[in-house]
Structure 1
Amino acid sequence: MPKVNFAFANAKVGSAYLSRVDATSHYGEAVTIQEIKFSHDIGIGFNPETQELYGTPTLDGDYQLFIKWTTDGKSSHFSEALMIVNPDPRSLWKIIEPPADDKYFKPNTDNQMINQSGVNIAAASRRGRSHEHIGSFRDDDFFISHDSETGWSIMIVADGAGSAQNSRRGSELASETAGSYLSKQMQGESGQKLKSLIQDWQPESQKQIGPLFSELYKNAAKLAVNAIESEAIDMAQTTKSYSTTLLATVSIRINDELFAAAFWMGDGAIAAYGPVGKVRLLGMPDSGEYAGQTRFLDNDAINDSSFNNRIMIGKWTEITHLILMTDGVSDPYFETDNGLTSSDKWDLLVNEILPCLQSDETAEKLTEWLNFFSPGNHDDRTIAISW
C-alpha cells in the first residue's frame, strides 16, 4: 500500500470549521479521499467533492479519523489520522462567587438608568473574568445623576487597583463622595453662575469657567481622598489599600450644544462623540512603564502642580454621546493611547452599544454587553453614557 500523509487544520469548539484535507503520497501519486469516519460524533463532516472537512465542533479533545482513499480509483486503502479540537477559551474560565459575608461585599454587576427632560444617562458595571475565576470582587464603581431643574448632569467611573486589597471600597467611596459634592454644588450658586457663563460663552466668560471647575474638581478630589483616609483609619488599613482611579464629567445641554468639563485621573477614557466619524478625547490616560500601571487618586496627585492639566472643558454642537469608561472597556477596544484618538474605533464602539441604548432595558442590556469576550482582556468593565 502506498504511504500517504494527511494534513488539515486544528478545530475549536463552537467555531465554524472548514479545512481541506491535503493528502500527500510518498511516490507522488494523486490521492483522492473517498470517505472519512469519526471515532466520535463531534459535529464535523467530510465533503468528498471538495475534499474538505466542515462543521462546528461540539466537543474538544483528540479524535481518530478513519480515512478511506484511493490513488487509481479502483482499489481503496484505509488510514488513520488524529484530529485535534481545542476548547473554547471561554469554557476554561471558572465563575466563583466572592464571600457573601465580606465586610466590603459588592455585587458582581450594577447598573442605573436616568431618563429626565429628554436627557438619557446609563451606567453599567460588571465583574471581570479574571475576578470571576478566582472568586474576588468587582473593584470598579460609578456615579450618575441629573438635575432636571438646572439641567446639570454628573457622570463618574472609578477603577479600584487590582493589587489593592480594599480598592472596591475605595472606588465606591471616591465615586459617591465626589459625585455627591459635585451634584450639590451644581444645584447651588456655583451651578447657576457657571450656566450663565456658558450661555454667554464670550472670551471673558470662558476665562472664568476654567478656574471655577479647577476649584470644584480639586475640592471633589480632596473630599474623596479624605473619605478614603477616614475609612482606612476606622478599619485600621493602609490608605493605599483603597487605591482607585477617578474619571468624571459635569455637563449640560443648552439648545443644540453640549458643554462638558472633564476630570481624568488614571487610565480608561472620556470622550465627546459625534457626529459619526468625529470624536473629541477629553484628556489623556495615565500610563505607566508596564501594563496595568497607572496613577491613582491621592494627596500627591491633588497637590501636583499639573493638577489642572487633568481638567478639560469644551462646548460643541452635534455631540451625540458623552462617554466615560474604565480600562476594562478601553483596553480591548482601543489597545493603545494612540488608539483612543481613532474615530474608526469610536465608531465601532458606539455602533455596538447603540442597540443597548435603543432598548427599553438600556441599563440591563449594557450590563450584558459588557460580558463581551476579548482574548487577554478580562478586567472589570464599567461604562457611563449620556445621550
Structure 2
Amino acid sequence: MPSWTWAAASRRGTSHERLGEKRQDAFRTLFVAASDTVVLVACDGAGSAARGGAGSAIAARVLSRCARDVLAEGRWPSDDDVWDWIDLARDRIAAAARRRELVPRDFATTVVMMISNGSDTLVVHVGDGAAVVRDAATGAWRAVSWPAQGEYASTTFFLTDDGGPQVRIAREAVAVDRLAAFTDGIERLALDFAAERAHAPFFSGMSKPVAAAEVSGWNLPLSTKLGDYLSSPAVNARTDDDKTLILACLR
C-alpha cells in the first residue's frame, strides 16, 4: 500500500540571530491513517509583530489538530470546516493576546496548509509562502497557491488582519505524489518569479532523497539534514529571514 513520508525543518534567519531574537516560523505535520492523508502546516510570524512567533505556533497547532479531527471522522474538509478552523485559530490568538494585555495583530502570522491523500489535495493559504505539488502522471511541479503581496512592497496578509483574513482555498482533484509547503524565507530559492512558476530543479533535488528513503511518516535523519541545508552559508547568503520547508512524498 502506498504511504506518505516527509522531511520538515525550520531554522532561524540571520537577521533574528544578529538581534538575539527567536525564530518566528512554526510548523506541524501529521498523518491520519484512517484516510491515508497527510497534513502539512507552515506559518510565519510577522517580523513587525511583538509575538509573531507565538502567533505562528498557535496557528500551526490549532489548524493541524482541526484537520486531524475532521479527517478522523472519515470526512473530507469542506469550505465551512476551513472557515471554522480559521475562526478558532483567530479566537485562540485573541485569547492569548488578552492574557498578555496585547492585541491580536501583535501575534500576526501567515499560513500555508496542505492536506492530501494523493488523489485530492486541499490548500489553505493566508499571506506569503507557497504550496507546490508534483503531478503524479507527468512529473511536472506546479504552484497550487502563490505568495500574496499586500498593498505595499514587502508586505503581505496575516491571519490576524482586522475585518477578517484574506484566506485562499484551493482544491485539486489531480493525482499528486510530492508536496512542498514553505514560508517566504525560501521563496527566492524555490520559485521562479519572472515566469511565475515553481523552480522544478529545486524541488526535484530536494525531494529525491525523501522519496527514496524506506521510511514512512516523519523522516528524522533527513529532517536534520534539511535543517542543516536551511541554515547553510549558501542559503543564508540569499536570505536573512526564517526558513521553513516541508517535503512530503507518496511512495
Both proteins in one fold, TM over 0.5: yes
Measured after TM superposition, the shift of residue 229 of structure 1 is 0.2
Distance 1:138 1:357 in 2: 28
Distance 1:152 1:352 in 2: 22
After TM superposition, the score normalised by the length of structure 2 is 0.86
Count of residues in Structure 1 that have an aligned counterpart in Structure 2: 240
Distance 2:95 2:83 in 1: 18
- Aligned position for 2:6: 121
Structure 1 residues not aligned, in runs of 5+: 1-115, 195-211
Check the 8 A contact 1:222/1:299 in 2, yes or no: no
Distance 2:31 2:210 in 1: 20
- Aligned position for 1:331: 188
SS in 1 for 2:145: coil
Check the 8 A contact 1:332/1:377 in 2, yes or no: no
| 1:143–1:301 distance in 2 versus 1, CA, 3 Å | farther
Q: Percent identity?
A: 24
2:179 counterpart letter in structure 1: L
- Aligned position for 1:267: 128
Residue from 346, 351, 370 that aligns with 2:200 = 346
- Aligned position for 1:297: 159
Distance 2:191 2:35 in 1: 35
Distance 1:148 1:220 in 2: 21
| 1:378–1:278 distance in 2 versus 1, CA, 3 Å | same
Distance 1:381 1:224 in 2: 22
1:346 counterpart letter in structure 2: A
Check the 8 A contact 2:132/2:141 in 1, yes or no: yes
Distance 2:55 2:196 in 1: 26
- Aligned position for 2:216: none
Distance 1:221 1:150 in 2: 22
Q: Which has the higher helix share?
A: 2
- Aligned position for 2:247: 385
- Aligned position for 2:172: 314
Check the 8 A contact 2:25/2:56 in 1, yes or no: yes
Name which structure has the greater RCO, CA cutoff 8 Å, separation 6+: 2
Measured after TM superposition, the shift of residue 301 of structure 1 is 6.0
Residues 110-157 of structure 1 show CA distances to partners (whole Å, capped at 9, x for unaligned) of xxxxxx972112221110111112211100000111022321221100
- Aligned position for 1:365: 225
Distance 1:133 1:222 in 2: 35
- Find out whether 1:231 has 2:96 as its counterpart: yes
Distance 1:193 1:230 in 2: 29
Measured after TM superposition, the shift of residue 340 of structure 1 is 4.3
Distance 2:12 2:91 in 1: 27
Which protein has the larger Cα radius of gyration, Structure 1 or Structure 2? Answer: 1
Measured after TM superposition, the shift of residue 181 of structure 1 is 1.0
Residues 205-234 of structure 1 show CA distances to partners (whole Å, capped at 9, x for unaligned) of xxxxxxx52111111111110010000001
- Aligned position for 1:252: 117
| 1:376–1:118 distance in 2 versus 1, CA, 3 Å | closer
Check the 8 A contact 1:356/1:366 in 2, yes or no: no
Computed over aligned residues only, the root mean square deviation of the Cα atoms, in angstroms, reads 2.4
- Find out whether 1:288 has 2:150 as its counterpart: yes
| 1:356–1:278 distance in 2 versus 1, CA, 3 Å | closer
Runs of 4 or more, structure 1, over 4 Å off, are 356-360
